[in-house]
Amino acid sequence: MSAQAFEAVTLVPGEASGPVLRLDEPLSFWGGLDLATGAIIDRWHPQRGASVAGAMLMMPSGRGSSSGSATLAEALRLGNGPAAILMLERDAIVVVGAMVAAELYGLACPVALADGRDWEALAAVASLTLKAGPEGATISAGL
Amino acid sequence: MSLDLSPFDRELIGGAHGAGAAFAMRLLVRFAEAVDARSLIDIEAAHVDGVIYHGRASLDLAERMVGLGGKVRVPTTLNVGSVDLIHPELFRGTKEHAENGTRLMHAHVDLGCAPTFTCAPYQSASRPRFGAQIAWGESNAIVFANSVIGARTNRYGDFIDLCCAMTGRAPAYGLHLTENRLARALVEIVSIPDDWDLERLAVAVGHMIGRRCGGLIPAIVGLPPSMSEDDLKALGAAAASSGAVALFHVVGRTPEAPDLKTACGGRKPEFRLRLTAKDLREAARSLSGIADGVRIGAVSLGTPHFSIDQFGRLVLLLDGARPLVDIFVNCSRATLGEVRNRGWEEPLRAAGVTLVADTCVYVSAILRADAGTVMTNSGKCAYYAPGNLGVEVAYGSLAECVASAHAGKVVRL
């Protein structure tokens, strides 16, 4: 699928690439993320211990406290946030956290809404590149 | 499917109303797109819940807005902060935490927010009117404004409540719209433990609604019509802790529920929950992590912030004897002023009560590290304190909390 590009909807613009981390369950950033490392610390999460730092985070939907926005922004400020976030449902907490990091620190963590039919194909590759512009986003395999 | 911006919205984005408002509007538009709103509406007031210090990013955002000369465009109240600015000596955390927490509180005041520092703004002068469109943060305040007052707000969180305040606008979605405010779940209180007061009943019902009703707005039948506003405050706070409840209707008591048919808009409920006295006793018990008779290190009252009526009830329960453990009572600085006016501050202190203003024991560093087990009359505090403070919590009625403070252990009445 190396030549294939998948269309997506831009929620927060920017460009990023990195290794894929697909979450098996939604993650609440507040209380679920170690800001100092980017590791998942939610004791109930099946991927506890995995790091979101620098990853193309595939998270179908959001979860948890609205304090997650400040937590995501803080993780991005410290350089321990994801490179980009791909979702299947709009999530205001994620969007606000990424926007605040972009506005305050100029740190791009683009957020895009992917098509559910593409999800398995996206999760099957080692790394992804996201280009999210004002008119729309494209996701492609590789760095 | 796209967001339709008014001429005024475009002026805000373009900077015609200042760089601070333009900054807030950029964030608000992204948020509105993320929740799929079609347009924005005017709001009358805001309550901002961003004054607890969680990290540098929230302080940077507030100070950036101050630096841009930003001011709120509607009357805006502030939620609790990390520090009691009236009694700063109570803070036991690090100096850096105290300084950053204080800076965050001051930055919001510099933006034109009123220094109310309370999670119960609805029990002071800034109470919204029925039907008012508002943008509020803080889960217990949101559920009270929607349910008990009939004002209209969604669950606004980090940064967005402030962006609404700085622009006077909010996305037209969710509970701002009449059609989304109808009950879809029916909660029937079939029987009530006959030895319970109404506050404990409210906490148990709220806790069960949060756990069982999911995102469905409940209409509650079978509650005594004599429930006070403080009881409904406790119900909402418990429901908004164990679940994401932003609006409930008490049939025959709250303003959008004169009868069940009106509350449900004539539709059949999608979900029914029947609660018996046995269910309610189990719910109250589940809020206590420890057994009766176990030693406690402190009592914490006033989550959400204690009202002047609640102080009146507390004063009647204290006989002047010093309790074995500290009794902390969280309240707003406005209520603290009223306590002083009534001459209650000294008798309360003499009876072992520490008054905490501007913040709340469960989000601040006020308890001693060795406090151990804490007893509270709050469903919200019982739900969150074990995670936030790492303490065990016992839940009990106000009278049980006072009796337990005197005995130094969990006492049931």
Check pLDDT > 70 for residue A3.
Answer: no
Q: What is the ipTM of this complex?
A: 0.85
Closest CA of chain B from A30, distance in Å: 10
Whether B307 is in a domain gets the answer yes
Under CATH, which number does the domain A5-141 receive? 3.50.30.10
Q: Is A65 noted as a catalytic residue in this protein?
A: yes
Per DSSP, A2 falls in state T
B56/A77 Cβ within 8 A: yes
The boundaries of the domain holding residue B268 are 182-286
Residue that is last in its domain, among B243, B261, B286 = B286
Contact between B277 and B285 (Cβ < 8 Å): no
Same domain, B141 and B209: no
Same domain, B106 and B58: yes
B155/A96 Cβ within 8 A: no
A90 contact B CB<8A? yes
B56/A91 Cβ within 8 A: no
A93 contact B CB<8A? yes
| CATH number, domain with residue B139 | 3.30.499
Place A27 in a pLDDT band, splitting at 50, 70 and 90.
confident
- Average pLDDT value for chain B: 94
Whether B1 is in a domain gets the answer no
Contacts of A12 in chain B (CB under 8 A): 30
Same domain, B219 and B311: no
Whether B292 is in a domain gets the answer no
Residue that is last in its domain, among B177, B203, B221 = B177
Place B1 in a pLDDT band, splitting at 50, 70 and 90.
low
Contacts of A74 in chain B (CB under 8 A): 54-58
Residue that is last in its domain, among B130, B150, B177 = B177
Contact between B384 and B391 (Cβ < 8 Å): no
Relative to beta strand B45-48, strand B76-78 is parallel
Same domain, B20 and B157: yes
Same domain, B231 and B153: no
Report how far residue A123's alpha carbon sits from residue B76's, in angstroms, rounded to the nearest whole number.
45
For B382, the enclosing helix (H) or strand (E) is: helix B379-389
Straight-line distance from the first to the last Cα atom of chain A, in angstroms, rounded to the nearest whole number: 13
Contacts of B159 in chain A (CB under 8 A): 69-70, 96, 100
Contacts of B34 in chain A (CB under 8 A): 11, 90-92, 95-96
- The pLDDT of residue A92 is 86
Q: Taking the alpha carbons of B202, B332, B91, B59 in that order, is the dihedral positive or negative? A: positive
Check pLDDT > 50 for residue A1.
Answer: no
pLDDT per residue over A99-123, tens digit each? 999 999 999 999 999 999 999 999 9
Closest CA of chain A from B166, distance in Å: 15
| Cis previous bond, B193, omega within 30 | no
Residue with tokens 């009530």: B192
pLDDT (mean) for A129-135:
95
pLDDT per residue over B330-386, tens digit each? 999 999 999 999 999 999 999 999 999 999 987 888 887 777 899 999 999 888 887
Relative to beta strand B326-331, strand B353-357 is parallel
- Angle subtended by helix axes A92-105 and A68-77, to nearest 10: 40
Q: Write the single-letter amino acid at B252.
A: G
In chain A, % helix, strand, coil (3-state, to 5) comes to 20, 30, 45
| CATH number, domain with residue B220 | 3.40.1060
Q: Exposure pattern of B300-329 as b/e (b: 16+ CB <10 Å)?
A: bbbbbbbbbebbebbeeebeeeebebbbbb
pLDDT (mean) for B115-125:
93
Whether B412 is in a domain gets the answer no
In this structure, what token pair is assigned to residue B25? 């509007």
Same domain, B141 and B12: yes
pLDDT (mean) for B274-297:
93
pLDDT (mean) for B236-247:
91
Same domain, B214 and B172: no
Same domain, B277 and B308: no
Total domains present in chain B: 3
pLDDT per residue over B13-59, tens digit each? 999 999 999 999 999 999 999 888 999 999 999 999 989 998 899 99
